[in-house]
Structure 1
Amino acid sequence: LVALEPVSNVILLEQYAEDRTAATWTQALAAACAGLPVTLVQGTSDEATALRRHIEHDHQAHHSPDLFHLQHEVAKGTGLSLARAVRAADAEVATAEAQLQAEREAEQAYRQQRHGPGRPPAFAQRIQGALQRWAAAAITRDQTQARQEEATTLIRALGEAYHPFELERGEAQPPERLGERLGTIWQRLEALAEAADLPARARAHLAKAKRLNTALLATIAFFFATVHQRVEALNLAPAIETAVLQQLIPAIYLERVATRCAGADERRRLAALSAQTLAPLRAADHPIQALEATQRVEIEQVASDCADLFQRSSAAVEGRNGQLSLFHHGCHRLSARQLAALTAVHNFYIRRADQTTAAERFFGQAPPPLFEQLLERVPLPPRPRRRRARAPKIPYLSPMAA
């Protein structure tokens, strides 16, 4: 069982269990969080029944679907079938090209030889037929390649659309607007499946992924409802509250997304959009600048927490599971003590680029260095026992006294 807090990346739970039922998850997480001021408000995972019951029923929290698993279902529904179609189309083009080349070579060989009277073979018609078959095969190949590229684009579009704020302009994207964007993507995927004549098994994967559409919209609704509740609790003036909701939180969220972008151009664009959205709040004449410094710090902290509230991926847990599998591969099995040691190293020793550990980000202050904690808790080994001096060894051939 592995559970972690996604913002700080601290591992809250990492242990072996005989099963993975909801009761086991709930009991293990309660024991792991005992004594910690932790409240579970949202859980992001796959659609396992036990995990959903653990989050929604046992903790009365919101369950957020994992975007990767949704995209993976779409990829399973389109990837293999479209790849087979592309390979078949490539083979058909190669066969048509070979046949066309053979007809042309046959015509050349015929013209290089002397022949008696009689009608020559209809090389023009045969070459024309081979050329038409090659053209038809090439068109089919281009169509299959276009469908394959479109499927990849649509899978990527699902990830680009699933945000509480539009990445193009930084504006809020309520469930209604997101529903329209996702609806267009699903329509294009269904049209693609029809045009490619995907088998029933592939379409079942698409249908399974589409069933998560409601959960995606529910997560966006949960996000905005929670954000408004937290901002309203600050009791700000209407103008400042509007600025926090429409400028500060979107700017922080865009900055978060920019740090995770793989492409440099998109990363710079989002960072610039974030700075542009934040610029009016930094002006000296903005009402938010008239507040006390401590109140501005509080507003910024709440806004940061709101921006971090939207979690759409459990990739950190998947990555940790992959890392543990490598340890298992090398050690065959990790003992409970070894697993606890690896958890401690992750939480208290490994540092990010900003030189903070997961525990420091989670608790808000730096814990004592891990090595010093080990010195305090691990008993030092006793001094080795002094060895008694051994009698000198007598050579075997030494003379004996008479």
Structure 2
Amino acid sequence: MIKRTTTEAIRTTRRKITALINKGKQSLRAIGRAIDRPKSTVHRHLKSQASRDQHPESYLWETEAGEAWLRRLVLAVVFTFGMQHGIGADALSRFFRQMRIDTHVGVSSTAMLGLLTRMENLLIYFQDFCEQSLPPGTRKAVLAMDETFFGCLLILVLMDLSSGYLLLESIGDDRSFDTWLNQSKPRLEALGIDVGHAVSDRAKALIKLAVDGFDCASGADVFHEQYGLSRWLGAALGRRKTQAEKRCTAAEKAIGKAGEESKADLETHHTQAVAECVQTEKALQDYRTNLAGISEDLHPFSLDTQQCNTAGSVTEKLVQRADALEIIAKEQGIADKYNAVQKFRNQIPSLATHVSFWWLWVEQLLLGFGVDQPTYDWLTGRLLPVVYWHYHRYKTKNPSQRKRYQSAWQHTLEVFKGDPFWESLGESEQQHWLEWAEWMVRQYHRSSSAVEGRNGHLSQLYHKGRGITKNRLKARTVIHNYWEKRSDDTTAAERLFKTQFPDLFEWLVDQMGELPLPRKTRQLVVRNPLKLQSVPA
């Protein structure tokens, strides 16, 4: 019975033979005696090596350093392009053949698919290994949840908003409350997550999951509410402006072609068209101001007065925005066929809970620290506003909002510098409160847009034609949690658990084992349609 030699053993023998030849040993018998192999084995390996020496760089891959680098190259390409970006096994195989390493590594489509499958399984194991090594503890979090559909495929996504850590990303049969609870509850208990606030669209199952499942308030997504208003009023005003501009242009052309007798009537018509265009433009600007104002009002600090907002003050401002939008629609004669304003009014209390929850969290933490009243007033009225507007002036990408946030930051900074309390603190205490304020500011959330972005990422993967399997989805979740980094060079896992984890790629390099060996490819058979094959009787 012939004993099969493993890939690792073959590569080890190759390295030993190459090392001995480099030391000057030329006799097959001497080399075989040194590695405890028959001379026929040495001869076979040397003959194989000669057949692999087809390119100027081929000798490099025979050395130990070159082979290690080649292995790292293959694994890096498979991880980056195959796992992260969804490139298929056929494309990876063609790339490696173009790199001319197919004489030393098995790069067929089957071999690449095997590497991808092995890497998927290891990635799933890596997250389990990291989560099981966490020390026990309770971590308060603000979560966002949503579902995404790809044909008949339903994916449930649950994310911690502050860190971006995906707590749940799984394929489900339905999106009912029971399905959500059965999948999310064990994950939260295993990681010690205490849900303080949950942000989602207004799906009934998600609201019930927050209130009954997580025992917390359910906050409405501000951008979902803005979209509902823009679909109704913004689209109608945009169409009216376009129509008014076309009538104005048509009237100008008609005046240029008309004679003196009919020019007076056409000029009157043109004046009316211009007035309508100006009126529509003004209504559109008022609409945009109030729509953007919904987002600007929903901050824990007022942009206008720089005072602390409360749920009551936010509710009052949002009601005024709804009234203003209704007046614009009434003046323009636009019917609310979607009942958008009433839907928005119904969600105002859920929008205001973002502010009330955050202030409650601040109060609980400061009471737990045991700070006195002067320190409490200084933290909430001086330090937090400066850090908050400084954070958001870099976070927003809207130029007009950035200017307003910049102005608010400058105003609060002047007030902060005018208070001598900061100078009375020691350097270590100043650093402590500054780090706490920065952390607290990052805990304020009013949107589930991070989950929507993740859904878009999954959509790109799905529409590449690769499909999404359970293992592949889990592997992509691990890459998101433990590999992708923000500008501060931290992963989602490091931000959530406040601890360092092994480098994911280096861990994969250690665990993936040897690369597959090249196999002799089948000869391409070109069949002749004019040659008659004889069939035995």
- TM-score for both structures, normalised by structure 1: 0.82
Which amino acid counterpart does residue 127 of structure 1 have in structure 2?
A: K
After TM superposition, give the deviation of residue 317 of structure 1 in Å: 0.3
Question: Structure 1 residues 31 and 383, CA, compared in 2 at 3 Å: closer, same or farther?
Answer: same
Q: What do you get for the CA RMSD once the two structures are aligned? A: 2.6
The aligned counterpart of 1:146 is 282
Match of 2:454 among 320, 329, 333: 320
1:170 touches 1:254 (CA, 8 Å); kept in 2?
Answer: no
The aligned counterpart of 1:331 is 465
The aligned counterpart of 1:73 is 228
1:235 partnered with 2:366: no
The aligned counterpart of 2:481 is 347
Q: Which runs of 5+ in 1 are unaligned?
A: 108-122, 388-402
Match of 1:222 among 347, 357, 361: 357
1:272 partnered with 2:410: yes
1:363 partnered with 2:497: yes
Match of 1:155 among 281, 285, 291: 291
Mapped to 1, the partners of 2:208 and 2:282 lie a distance apart of 42
Mapped to 1, the partners of 2:366 and 2:267 lie a distance apart of 69
Q: What's the CA shift string for 1:53-102, capped at 9, x where partnerless?
A: 10111111111110100100110111221122223222322333333333
Residue correspondences, number: 362
1:15 touches 1:336 (CA, 8 Å); kept in 2?
Answer: yes
Which amino acid counterpart does residue 45 of structure 1 have in structure 2?
A: S
The aligned counterpart of 1:53 is 208
2:385 touches 2:409 (CA, 8 Å); kept in 1?
Answer: no
Mapped to 2, the partners of 1:296 and 1:186 lie a distance apart of 42
Question: Structure 1 residues 231 and 82, CA, compared in 2 at 3 Å: closer, same or farther?
Answer: same
The aligned counterpart of 1:244 is 379
Mapped to 1, the partners of 2:216 and 2:223 lie a distance apart of 21
Mapped to 1, the partners of 2:254 and 2:506 lie a distance apart of 77
The aligned counterpart of 2:247 is 92
Mapped to 1, the partners of 2:411 and 2:465 lie a distance apart of 48
Match of 1:307 among 413, 436, 441: 441
Q: Which runs of 5+ in 2 are unaligned?
A: 1-155, 521-537
Match of 1:32 among 187, 210, 216: 187
After TM superposition, give the deviation of residue 50 of structure 1 in Å: 0.7
Question: Structure 1 residues 354 and 385, CA, compared in 2 at 3 Å: closer, same or farther?
Answer: closer
2:301 touches 2:308 (CA, 8 Å); kept in 1?
Answer: yes
Which amino acid counterpart does residue 223 of structure 1 have in structure 2?
A: W
2:222 touches 2:447 (CA, 8 Å); kept in 1?
Answer: yes
Match of 2:256 among 87, 101, 115: 101
1:10 partnered with 2:165: yes
Q: What's the CA shift string for 1:358-380, capped at 9, x where partnerless?
A: 1111111221100233245x452
1:374 partnered with 2:508: yes
1:254 touches 1:273 (CA, 8 Å); kept in 2?
Answer: no
Give the percent of matched residue pairs that are identical in Structure 1 and Structure 2: 23
Secondary structure of the residue that 1:180 maps to in structure 2?
helix
Question: Structure 1 residues 43 and 134, CA, compared in 2 at 3 Å: closer, same or farther?
Answer: same
After TM superposition, give the deviation of residue 265 of structure 1 in Å: 4.0
- Which one is further off, 3-12 or 317-326? 3-12
Q: What's the CA shift string for 1:150-204, capped at 9, x where partnerless?
A: 21221111111111111345320123322332232222111101001112415x1
Which amino acid counterpart does residue 172 of structure 1 have in structure 2?
A: C
The aligned counterpart of 1:185 is 321
Secondary structure of the residue that 1:163 maps to in structure 2?
coil
After TM superposition, give the deviation of residue 332 of structure 1 in Å: 4.2
